[in-house]
């Protein structure tokens, strides 16, 4: 009995312990490094790994699985592979590559994995997003219809970019491609300052691929000084970073920009430049033993860029109405846009902005070739007033380029052709703009309107930039006068309409009509005075100054010749005296001595003639100088009279407007 009781207790105890037995084992799938070199590790044993999954090596170095083969896995290493050796353990993380995203990223500089590299500590509250996601579908999208203003006259007027568009910036090195992108970021400062909600703010993501560290540091300084970092994120995969980071950086930046797009906000992302990403991808593919194709690029290099750029989109109203605009940059070699990578990206994007070396060295900056540049969105992403102002300017520029090429071979041009050349030269000058100085859209419209409608046709080309700076101020003052004038007119019209009679309108307009004619005459007089002011340094004064300069140069030349003749004569006389002091040495010696005496006599007579000619030239110069001073004083006197008349006409015009 005692034995059976103890057996029952033991059985109960064992059942209790077996029931309460629990272990928490962490099971990781691991593999071993078979070979490593050139940033590529071959790993055996990771049979369940996913494509694009992150792995961790024994030393803490991260990598990504790109090649899934029968016997091993090809892993590209994010960092140095010097600490990795054969036989090291490799652990799966179970997660696809992701990066931090959110507003906490604004103002920060991160690497291709989203790790801060600006020395300002860790990131605050943020979420994480996968770097590789599917692009929005057709139903989720909406056509591009909102302008994304760059602040560049040549772009906003002729090659407009809309929110959600993909506009390629293509050109040779050192032609201002990055400057176009940076100006676009800087231009958002004044636009964001006027935004009343987050849905109107445009956030910027700049991805630097394969650039020098000093270039990235300079860019950070430029954005900081302009207070543009507060709405910008910088992703830097510099030239010293491994090829996998340069390959991954554009996708990481795109994931950060998609955060704003998917939350009903607007973002702009700049890939500078995708040519270096393609080179990094080619390097990785060749090391992974993938079959090479054209220019040694792998066969899926088109998909490399298409799946990236397709993620830029304008979302429909049902999905938040956010947008992600992409400005990819491609570098060409000697202007060859028919190379493999340029043609790929051109076919993917919605247009291109072409920069040319020739235009850059001619001083046309930004060096945008308007003829080759195109926006496939067109005027749908342009303000209505800008569309009306610059509607014919692109056609006129095309006609100007064609006629200018032919005008080089002939001088007999009719008035219409000369007018076209004159207008085209002004339209070519107007889009010029200094670097890092974007222009607000309202000022662009004023300047372009003035150029298209011929207000700059009579202006020297070197004065157009000054005119451009002063024109908005002038227009602002004129608008004040016009508003005051038309406000009074509107009150009279309203009074007449209220009483149902137009007699009041007639009573008001009758005295204004003759005043309008007087005003036109006054303005015409003012234009005449301005023309006279422009003629102050006209051809007549140029001719006189040229004559004075020629007289001075000729006089100096004659004086120099006289001095040279005196020196040569003295040398000849010394030689003759020396030979005469010697005894007679024969007929040839006497003949040569006689020849030297003749040359000395001739040389002595030259300085007198040269000095006489120099005196005559000095006299001619004095007469020309006196004539120039007389005409100059007369011209200044005439201009003072005309300026006085201009002031009187200006006062008359002010009194007329006040009386009206």
CATH code for the domain in which residue 192 is found: 3.40.50.300
> Could you give the CA distance from residue 113 to residue 131 in angstroms, rounded to a whole number?
9
DSSP structure string for 220-276: HHHHHHTT-GGGEEEEEE-TTS-HHHHHHHHHHHHHHHHHHHHTT-EEEEEEETHHH
Domain extent, residue 39, equals: 22-95
Report the interhelical angle of 415-429 vs 441-452 (nearest 10°). 170
339 pLDDT band, cuts 50/70/90, is very high
CATH of the domain at 65: 2.40.30.20
pTM: 0.71
The verdict on whether 376 is a catalytic residue reads yes
What percentage of the chain carries pLDDT values higher than 70?
73
Q: Residue 422 has what pLDDT?
A: 85
Q: Residue 519 has what pLDDT?
A: 42
Stated as kind and residue range, the H or E segment containing 305 is helix 301-309
With 80 as the cut, is the pLDDT of residue 596 above it? Answer: no
Q: Residue 371 has what pLDDT?
A: 85
Q: Residue 528 has what pLDDT?
A: 47
Q: Residue 536 has what pLDDT?
A: 43
**Residue 75: strand pairing partners:** 41, 65
Q: Residue 570 has what pLDDT?
A: 66
Q: Which of 357 and 402 is assigned the larger pLDDT?
A: 357
Phi-psi region of 375 (alpha: psi -120 to 50; beta: other; left: phi over 0): beta
The stretch 519-540 carries a mean pLDDT of 45
Instruction: Mark which of 360, 382, 404 sits at the end of a domain.
Output: 382
Same domain for 364 and 387, yes or no, is: no
What's the domain count of the chain?
A: 3
Same domain for 52 and 171, yes or no, is: no
120, 173, 362, 376: the catalytic one is 376
Q: Residue 125 has what pLDDT?
A: 79
Task: For residue 640, give the 3-state DSSP assignment.
Answer: helix
506 pLDDT band, cuts 50/70/90, is very low
Report how many helices (DSSP H) and strands (DSSP E) the chain contains, helices first: 17, 16
Same domain for 369 and 230, yes or no, is: yes
With 80 as the cut, is the pLDDT of residue 623 above it? Answer: no
Best-predicted range by mean pLDDT among 78-82, 306-310, 521-525?
306-310
174, 435 contact by CB (below 8 A): no
Q: Which of 221 and 608 is assigned the larger pLDDT?
A: 221
624, 544 contact by CB (below 8 A): yes
Same domain for 72 and 128, yes or no, is: no
- What is the average pLDDT score of the chain? 81
390 pLDDT band, cuts 50/70/90, is confident
Same domain for 478 and 491, yes or no, is: yes
With 50 as the cut, is the pLDDT of residue 313 above it? Answer: yes
Number of Cα atoms under 13 Å in the Cβ half of residue 435: 13
Q: Is 196 exposed, middle or buried (0-12, 13-18, 19+ CB in 10 A)?
A: exposed
Same domain for 78 and 135, yes or no, is: no
Please report whether residue 328 resides in a domain: yes
Same domain for 306 and 212, yes or no, is: yes
> Could you give the CA distance from residue 129 to residue 117 in angstroms, rounded to a whole number?
19
With 80 as the cut, is the pLDDT of residue 20 above it? Answer: no
Q: Residue 176 has what pLDDT?
A: 93
Same domain for 177 and 302, yes or no, is: yes
């Amino acid at each position: 009995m005692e034995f059976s009781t103890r057996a029952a207790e033991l059985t109960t105890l064992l059942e209790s312990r077996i029931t309460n037995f629990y272990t928490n084992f962490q099971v990781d799938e691991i593999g071993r490094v078979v070979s490593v070199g050139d940033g590529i590790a071959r790993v055996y044993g990771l049979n369940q790994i996913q494509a694009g999954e992150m792995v961790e090596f024994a030393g803490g170095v991260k990598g990504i699985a790109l090649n899934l083969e029968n016997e091993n896995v090809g892993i590209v290493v994010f960092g140095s592979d010097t600490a990795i050796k054969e036989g090291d353990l490799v652990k799966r993380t179970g997660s696809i590559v992701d990066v931090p995203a959110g507003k906490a990223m604004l103002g920060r500089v991160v690497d291709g994995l989203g790790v801060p590299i600006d020395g300002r500590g860790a990131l605050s509250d943020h979420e994480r997003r996968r770097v590789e996601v599917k692009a929005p579908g057709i139903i989720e999208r909406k056509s591009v219809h909102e302008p994304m203003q760059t602040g560049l006259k040549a772009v906003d007027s002729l090659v407009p970019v809309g929110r959600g568009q993909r506009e390629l910036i293509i050109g040779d090195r050192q032609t201002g491609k990055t400057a176009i992108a940076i100006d676009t970021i800087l231009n958002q400062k004044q636009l964001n300052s006027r935004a009343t909600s987050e849905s109107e703010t445009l956030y910027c993501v700049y991805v630097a691929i394969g650039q020098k560290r000093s270039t990235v540091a300079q860019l950070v300084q430029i954005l900081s000084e302009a207070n543009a970092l507060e709405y910008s994120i910088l992703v830097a995969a510099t030239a010293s970073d491994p090829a996998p980071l340069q390959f991954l950086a554009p996708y990481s930046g795109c994931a950060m920009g998609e955060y704003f797009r998917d939350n009903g906000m607007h973002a702009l992302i700049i890939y500078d430049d995708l040519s270096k990403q393609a080179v990094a991808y080619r390097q990785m593919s060749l090391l992974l033993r993938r079959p090479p194709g054209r220019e040694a690029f792998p066969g899926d290099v088109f998909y490399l860029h298409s799946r990236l750029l397709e993620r830029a989109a304008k979302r429909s109203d049902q999905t938040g109405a956010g947008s992600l605009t992409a400005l990819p940059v491609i570098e060409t070699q000697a202007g060859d846009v028919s190379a493999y990578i340029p043609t790929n990206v051109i076919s993917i994007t919605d247009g291109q902005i072409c920069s040319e070396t020739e235009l850059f060295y001619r001083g046309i900056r930004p060096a945008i070739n308007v003829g080759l540049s195109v926006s496939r969105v067109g005027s749908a992403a342009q303000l209505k007033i800008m569309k009306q102002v610059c509607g014919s300017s692109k056609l006129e520029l095309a006609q100007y380029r064609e006629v200018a090429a032919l005008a080089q071979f002939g001088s007999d041009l009719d008035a219409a052709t000369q007018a076209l050349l004159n207008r085209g030269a002004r339209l070519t000058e107007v889009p010029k703009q200094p670097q890092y100085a974007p222009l607000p859209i309202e000022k662009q419209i004023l300047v372009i309107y003035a150029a298209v409608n011929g207000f700059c046709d009579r202006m020297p080309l070197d004065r157009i930039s000054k005119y451009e700076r002063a024109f908005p101020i002038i227009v602002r003052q004129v608008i004040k006068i016009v508003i005051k004038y038309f406000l009074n007119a509107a009150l009279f019209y309203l009074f007449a309409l209220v009483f149902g009679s137009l007699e009041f309108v007639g009573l008001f307009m009758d005295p204004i009509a003759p005043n309008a004619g007087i005003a036109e005459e006054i303005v015409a007089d003012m234009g005449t005075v301005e023309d006279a002011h422009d003629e102050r340094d006209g051809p007549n004064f140029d001719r006189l100054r040229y004559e004075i300069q020629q007289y001075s140069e000729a006089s100096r030349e004659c004086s120099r010749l006289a001095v040279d003749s005196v020196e040569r004569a003295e040398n000849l006389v010394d030689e003759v005296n020396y030979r005469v002091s010697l005894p007679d040495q024969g007929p040839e010696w006497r003949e040569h001595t006689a020849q030297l005496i003749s040359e000395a006599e001739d040389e002595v007579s030259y300085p007198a003639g040269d000095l006489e000619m120099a005196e005559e030239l000095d006299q001619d110069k004095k007469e020309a100088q006196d004539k120039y001073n007389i005409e100059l004083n007369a011209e200044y006197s005439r201009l003072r009279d005309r300026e006085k008349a201009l002031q009187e006409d200006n006062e008359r015009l002010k009194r007329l407007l006040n009386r009206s």
